[in-house]
Amino acid sequence: MYRVAKASEYLAITGVGIKDIKLAKKSWIFPGQSCTKFDISPVNYTFEVQAMSAKKLPFILPAVFTIGPRYDDDDDALLKYAKLICPHDGLTKQNAAKIDAETKIIAIQREGEGKKEEINVKAKVKIYENLREAEVAEANAELAQKKAGWTQASRVAEVELEKAVALRDAELQREVERMNALATTEKLKAELLTKASVEYDTKVQEANWDLYNKQKAAEGVLYGREKEAEAQMAAAKAAFFARQQAADAELYGKQKEAEGMMALAKAQGFYLKTLLEAVGGDYGALRDYLMINGGMF
């Protein structure tokens, strides 16, 4: 009998003339041989797993398992698949159903745990809300007490401010009265000072006129004395000039006399030098000559 497998199938042939298993897409099946078709298409098994996040929030995690042989050139994977998987296709379906049931049980357990955790979280949230409400109520009460204290302090401050304003008004009134009194006093002083100033100015003008007359008289006397002093100074200068001229003449005469004596001495020195040179530097001969010339011999 000739058997042909579909595109996604293989023929697994065993029996006479075959040592282990023969895989083929098409083949003759002889007497004493057995042929089984098996599908190599991958099979997907889908599950929905009830899971929970790190924050204890439940969620559904879809899971897909794909089962199928690994196809390669040496056909080892297909041989193993033909030996081990094919005879157990029905068992595989049973196992899949069992896994599905167990998965549902686990999901229910997880769902229960999630609800339990949700209840715990809600209870904790409620406790926290109650604590917060108590804290808010306490804070409101404390705030009300502080507001009452602030109101009282504000009223006291207003009363003190009113007293301070009244006291300040009284001080200002006293200051105004004092300033008015000072103004009146200053006015009287100004009137008296004006009268005294007029009298003072009159006396000052009279004194200035008297002083002016005396100054003019003194200036006349001083002018006469200055002219007299100038005449005396001129006479003194003339006498001094005459004396200076006489002294200068006398000094000039003495200077000329001294100059003559110096010229005579120079001439005598030159004369002696000439004589000394004439006698060949002999001082004894020069002395004898001078004594003879002077009539001493």
Average pLDDT on 7-33 reads 89
Greatest mean pLDDT among 49-63, 83-97, 185-199, 218-232 lies in: 218-232
Closest CA to 40 of 90, 81, 3, 75: 81
What is the average pLDDT value for the chain, to the nearest integer?
79
- For residues 92 and 7, the model is more confident at 7
Collapse the DSSP code of 76 into the 3-class scheme (helix H, G, I; strand E, B; otherwise coil) and give the result.
helix
Q: Which residue has the tokens 């530097």?
A: 281
Per-residue pLDDT at 2: 92
* pLDDT (0 to 100) of residue 220: 78
CA-only gyration radius of the chain, Å: 79
Cβ 273 vs Cβ 286: under 8 Å: no
Decide: 77 and 69 in contact? Cβ < 8 Å: yes
Which 3 state secondary structure label does DSSP give 59? strand
Do the beta carbons of residue 114 and residue 56 sit within 8 Å?
yes
Q: How far apart are CA 96 and CA 65, in angstroms?
A: 10
**In whole angstroms, what is the distance from residue 94 CA to residue 45 CA?**
12
> Of 282 and 143, which is predicted with more confidence?
143
| Residue of 80, 82, 72 whose CA lies nearest to 12 | 82
Task: Find the angle CA(154)-CA(157)-CA(163) to the nearest 5 degrees.
Answer: 145
Q: Are 103 and 45 in contact (CB under 8 A)?
A: no
**In Å, how far are 171, 179, 182, 196 from 185, measured between CA atoms?**
21, 10, 5, 16
**Residue 74's pLDDT is what?**
56
240 pLDDT band, cuts 50/70/90, is: confident
Distance of CA 211 to the CA centre of its chain: 77
Q: Residue 45: beta bridge partners? A: 65
How far apart (Å, rounded) are the C-alpha atoms in residues 39 and 68?
Answer: 9
Instruction: Characterize the bridge pairing of strands 9-15 and 22-24.
Output: antiparallel
Under the banding of pLDDT at 50, 70 and 90, the label for residue 35 is very high
Q: Over pLDDT 70: what percentage of the chain?
A: 87
